[in-house]
Amino acid sequence: MQEGVRCHWSIETRGELDYYNVGYMRWPPYSPDLNPIESTKLLSSIVIAISTHQRYELSARQAWDAVPEWYLQRLVESMHSRGFEVIKRDGHAKDTSGLRG
């Protein structure tokens, strides 16, 4: 997924993606509710100070492991309806000021 952030579409970024044969698609710019990573960020309120790549990788793995499997399953199951909602809003996100229970 590539949202509209300039660094995601730089010549360097596209070159790296092409070099490693990583496919990418454009993403609606105002739709964080379609991005599973953004949804998991909402779940975590811990800010981690990172000084090295190894610590970053370890912290990222620990944070990912802390996300409950039921939450990820719920994200997957909701993608179809969330996609339709974004289409109805012409690519704009709905209010994500809090997690839904």
In the predicted structure, residue 101 carries a pLDDT above the cut 60: no
Q: What average pLDDT does the structure give for the chain?
A: 75
* Residue-level pLDDT at 73: 92
57 and 89 fall within a common domain: yes
Residue 5: give the domain boundaries. Answer: 1-30
44 and 83 fall within a common domain: yes
- In terms of pLDDT, which residue wins out, 38 or 85? 85
Alpha-carbon gap, residue 10 to 6, rounded angstroms: 6
18 and 38 fall within a common domain: no
What's the structural domain count of the chain? 2
60 and 23 fall within a common domain: no
The model's pLDDT over 29-63, given as tens digits with 9 standing for 90+, comes to 666 667 766 666 656 655 555 566 778 888 888 98
44 and 84 fall within a common domain: yes
16 and 45 fall within a common domain: no
54 and 17 fall within a common domain: no
User: In the predicted model, what is the mean pLDDT of residues 73-82?
Assistant: 89
Q: Which one-letter amino acid corresponds to residue 60? A: A
User: Tokens 């998991």 label which residue?
Assistant: 40
Model pTM?
Answer: 0.41
Alpha-carbon gap, residue 99 to 43, rounded angstroms: 8
User: Tokens 């993606």 label which residue?
Assistant: 17
